[in-house]
Structure formats: structure tokens, C-alpha cells
């Protein structure tokens, strides 16, 4: 009895402090919060103005406000309002209602999209949860204070009115930003159970901003990570892409591993990280990704997934060559298809990304040949630049000679005459290495001629019958 009582008390203490429901926010003026209005996109401002003209409340919310307070230009802007999705659509010139689990409105300004949501209620008949406690449907609308209590972290529950330049803070989010602290609203265990992806989001935000995750918010993550297995793979992949393209991918991955989430998110990720070569290759790729984002370059999801799955492709490639007797390019093609068929079901990778990944992998085999007309076709391939960068990563892990990377760099930049010289040199080298490889293969064949094949039983050699000659072609004198 006493042990049960102690366990119950310990369980209650581990839940962490609850957040009091606050109906009246703290209102900060522009002099108090210091947001630069010049950093607010005109599209977000116009979306709010259109709703204000019709008598609705409308505020910029979420990560955009957090970034504005940190003096960073937000990548995306979200708007929250008391207008229903249908009312939002009528108030905007170009808008479309999306989503089933959460109905949202996308307000479009050319290629720029402002996501507009209606204030969510705390509870209601329209909120449905699955057996694990995950919210699967939520279209019950409520008041602004309820919407604030429903948000995940205090720093994401801030509302900025671009018209008055006032900031509305229900849960001390402004103080948490100043303290560089990430804190969950409500009981962390319950909030993670409602949406397990919040654990990934906590890791990403903390790593990206250099914030410290509050102890009560962080404590349940390792033991609740398995809930991520109940999340649709499409959502996991979407969140993983956000994590890898936030500009702090290396820090995010390290934090994921610290919290033990890598195994729950993607088993293949855990497998890659457990192998020295796989870990080194992936970390180098993420470092380069962070560097590209830092200078404003775009990142291809197919390149990231291609990097993640490449160690598996290499394993199958070798297996197909050594054990199935396939040619080099045929073995690579088969390996690529096998990995894509196996992993894309789990990862829910879009078809166009799958095609790009296949091209990226196949070009690795072509980049290793450097002979004949194929070299010219390679540099004109639309995925050549990505394939070259991929090969460069492979050279940094010691799997491709640096001279090969230099050769392609010179070939891509050279004129017709210099390219012809490079191909001639590559052909001489290929003959030399080919002769050495054939001699090595013959030695291996001679050494293993009497070996028992895999499976334990020696294969019986079939005697070849002499081919019978046609009667019409027998030499004279034979009968």
C-alpha cells in the first residue's frame, strides 16, 4: 500500500506544474515589446486589415511573433481571428479552405501564402481523440484566451495586432523569450499525448533559437517518444524536413538523439546513426545544409532524403554486384529501386522526390566512369550539380578519390579541347585499373575454386555433352 502511494505521488509530481487559465492578457505597447513594424510582411498586414474592416479581430500569431521579438525576419506569417473559415474566405480576395483535422484558410498573394486560423475552444463535442489520446479532429471555435491556452509553448501564444502595434500575452511568453526558455502550456504529458509531434517541435525550437527547455517540459520526452509511432508518416516527414532545414540541423539531430527520439521518428535514421560511416556522411550533409541556408541558398528535400538512405543503397549495391553477379550500373539501379520501394512506404516521400533521388544515386555510378560520350551527357543532366555535391560529400568521407571530384570540376568548366584531354587521361587510367582489377579477380577465383559455396553443400558440376554434328556437314569418309 505504501509503495503504491509513493508511486502515485511520484507520478503526480512528474506531471509538472499546470498552467493557470488566464482570460485577461498582459498588453504590451510598442515601446515595451520593441517589435520593428518594418519586419511585418505587407501580406500579413493586409490579411488582418481585411478582417478588421468587417468587424473581426485578427492578430499575427505563433512563430512569426516570436521571431519578431528576437529581431529576426519571419519566414512565414500566421494569422488568428474570431472569424470562421467561411467568413475569412469571404473577406479575402483569394482564399481557400483546407484541412480536415484542423480547418484553416490559405490567403494567397501570388506565391506568398498567409495561413489563417479561427480561435480554437478548449473543449467541445467536435474534439475527437484516438486511443492514444492524440487529437484527430478539432474544429470547435472559441475565444482568444481559449486559443492561447490551446497553443503548445508560451512563446508561441503571443498575439500581435499590426494596426495598434500592441502585443497580447496570456502565459508570460514575453518573459520566457527574454529568459530564452521554452515552456509548455498546461501539463506536458497531456499536451504531448494530444500531439506527439510537439516533442519534435520542442527539440527544433530549442536548438534553432538556443533556448533551454524547461525541466518540467523536457522530463517526459524520453519516456513518451514512442507515441510518435502513432503519428501518420506524412506528418513526421514534414516535421523532420522542418527540423533539417531550419538552419541548425546538426544541433537539432544531436538534441533528438539526446532525447532518444531518433529511434521513434524513423528506424532508418537510428540505423544510419549507429554506423560510423553512415553517421559521418549524414552529419557532413547536415553541416553543408546549415551552411547553404546561412547564405540564403535553397535546400532540396530529395537531396536530404537521398543522403539519409544512401548507406542502404551502397549496401545493396555491393550485394547485387558480389552475390548476384550484376553489372555495376545494373546493380546500382536495382539497389535504388529496392531501397525506394522499402523506405518510401514508411517515409511517405512524394513521387517527384523519389524520381530525383533515383537520378541522384544513378549519377553517382556515372560520375565514377568518366569515359566516352557519357561524360558529356552527365554534365548536361538537370541533376548534375546536386550529384556533384553529393559526390563531394562522399569524397569527404573517403569513399571517392578527391582526384575524381577535381576531374569533374575541371571537365565541367573546360573547353572542348581540355575535355578531350581529360577523357583520354581517364581512359588510360581506366584501362590500368581495369587490368589490375581483372588480375585481382582471377587470383580470387583461383583461390576460391575449391571452396564450398554459401549454403554448405558443394555444387555438382554438370558435364557438358559434345554437340552432335549435323549429318549434312560430316566430313567425307565418316558414316
Annotated catalytic residues are: 76, 78, 152
C-alpha cell at 414: 573546360
Judged by DSSP in three states, 151 sits in coil
List CB contacts of 78: < 8 A, sequence separation 6 or more: 60, 61, 62, 63, 64, 114, 115, 116, 117
* C-alpha to C-alpha distances, 87 to 46, 61, 98, 130, 150, nearest whole angstrom: 16, 19, 14, 30, 22
Q: What DSSP state is assigned to residue 183?
A: -
State how far the Cα of 430 lies from the Cα of 424, in Å rounded to an integer. Answer: 10
> What are φ and ψ of residue 424, in 5° steps?
-60, -45
Locate all alpha helices (DSSP H) within 210-248, ordered by sequence: 215-218, 221-224, 233-244
Residue 80's nearest CA partner among 7, 147, 150 is 147
Give the chain's count of helices (H) and strands (E).
23, 12
What count of Cα atoms within 13 Å lies in the side-chain half-sphere of residue 363? 28
Helical packing angle, 276-294 and 301-323, nearest 10°: 150
C-alpha cell at 138: 478539432
Count of C-beta atoms within a 10 Å radius of residue 447: 9
State how far the Cα of 438 lies from the Cα of 440, in Å rounded to an integer. Answer: 5
Residue linked to cell 536530404: 304
Helix, strand, coil fractions of the chain, as percent rounded to 5: 55, 10, 30
> What are φ and ψ of residue 293, in 5° steps?
-65, -35
Amino acid at each position: 500500500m505504501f509503495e503504491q502511494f509513493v508511486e502515485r505521488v511520484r507520478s503526480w509530481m512528474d506531471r509538472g506544474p499546470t498552467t493557470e487559465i488566464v482570460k485577461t492578457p498582459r498588453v504590451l505597447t510598442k515601446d515595451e515589446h520593441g517589435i520593428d513594424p518594418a519586419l511585418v510582411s505587407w501580406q500579413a498586414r493586409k490579411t488582418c486589415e481585411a478582417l478588421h474592416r468587417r468587424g473581426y479581430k485578427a492578430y499575427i500569431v505563433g512563430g512569426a511573433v516570436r521571431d519578431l521579438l528576437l529581431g529576426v525576419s519571419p519566414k512565414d506569417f500566421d494569422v488568428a481571428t474570431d472569424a470562421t473559415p467561411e467568413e475569412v474566405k469571404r473577406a479575402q480576395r483569394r482564399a481557400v479552405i483546407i484541412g480536415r483535422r484542423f480547418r484553416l484558410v490559405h490567403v494567397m498573394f501570388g506565391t506568398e501564402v498567409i495561413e489563417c486560423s479561427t480561435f480554437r475552444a478548449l473543449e467541445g463535442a467536435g474534439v475527437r481523440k484516438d486511443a492514444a489520446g492524440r487529437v484527430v479532429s478539432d474544429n470547435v471555435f472559441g475565444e482568444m484566451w481559449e486559443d492561447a491556452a490551446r497553443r503548445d509553448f508560451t512563446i508561441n501564444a503571443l498575439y500581435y495586432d499590426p494596426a495598434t502595434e500592441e502585443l497580447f500575452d496570456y502565459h508570460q511568453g514575453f518573459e520566457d523569450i527574454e529568459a530564452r526558455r521554452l515552456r509548455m502550456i498546461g501539463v506536458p504529458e497531456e499536451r504531448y499525448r494530444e500531439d506527439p509531434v510537439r516533442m519534435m517541435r520542442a527539440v527544433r525550437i530549442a536548438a534553432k533559437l538556443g533556448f533551454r527547455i524547461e525541466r518540467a517540459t523536457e522530463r517526459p520526452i524520453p519516456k513518451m517518444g514512442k507515441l510518435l509511432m502513432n503519428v501518420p508518416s506524412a506528418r513526421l516527414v514534414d516535421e523532420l524536413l522542418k527540423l533539417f532545414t531550419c538552419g541548425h540541423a546538426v544541433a537539432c539531430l544531436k538534441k533528438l538523439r539526446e532525447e532518444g527520439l531518433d529511434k521513434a521518428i524513423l528506424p532508418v535514421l537510428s540505423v544510419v546513426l549507429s554506423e560510423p560511416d553512415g553517421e559521418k556522411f549524414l552529419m557532413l550533409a547536415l553541416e553543408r545544409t546549415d551552411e547553404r541556408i546561412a547564405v540564403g541558398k535553397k535546400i532540396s528535400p530529395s537531396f536530404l532524403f537521398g543522403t539519409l538512405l544512401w548507406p542502404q543503397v551502397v549496401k545493396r549495391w555491393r550485394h547485387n554486384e558480389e552475390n548476384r553477379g550484376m553489372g555495376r550500373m545494373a546493380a546500382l539501379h536495382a539497389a535504388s529501386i529496392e531501397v525506394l520501394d522499402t523506405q518510401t512506404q514508411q517515409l511517405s516521400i512524394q513521387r517527384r522526390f523519389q524520381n530525383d533521388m533515383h537520378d541522384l544515386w544513378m549519377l553517382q555510378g556515372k560520375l565514377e566512369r568518366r569515359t566516352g560520350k557519357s561524360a558529356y551527357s552527365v554534365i548536361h543532366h538537370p541533376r548534375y550539380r546536386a550529384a556533384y555535391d553529393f559526390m563531394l560529400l562522399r569524397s569527404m568521407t573517403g569513399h571517392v578519390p578527391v582526384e575524381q571530384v577535381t576531374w569533374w570540376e575541371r571537365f565541367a568548366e573546360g573547353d572542348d579541347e581540355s575535355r578531350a584531354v581529360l577523357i583520354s587521361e581517364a581512359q588510360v587510367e581506366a584501362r590500368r585499373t581495369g587490368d589490375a582489377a581483372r588480375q585481382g579477380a582471377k587470383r580470387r577465383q583461383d583461390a576460391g575454386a575449391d571452396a564450398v559455396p554459401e549454403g554448405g553443400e558443394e555444387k555438382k558440376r554438370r558435364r557438358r555433352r559434345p554437340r552432335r554434328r549435323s549429318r549434312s556437314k560430316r566430313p567425307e569418309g565418316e558414316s
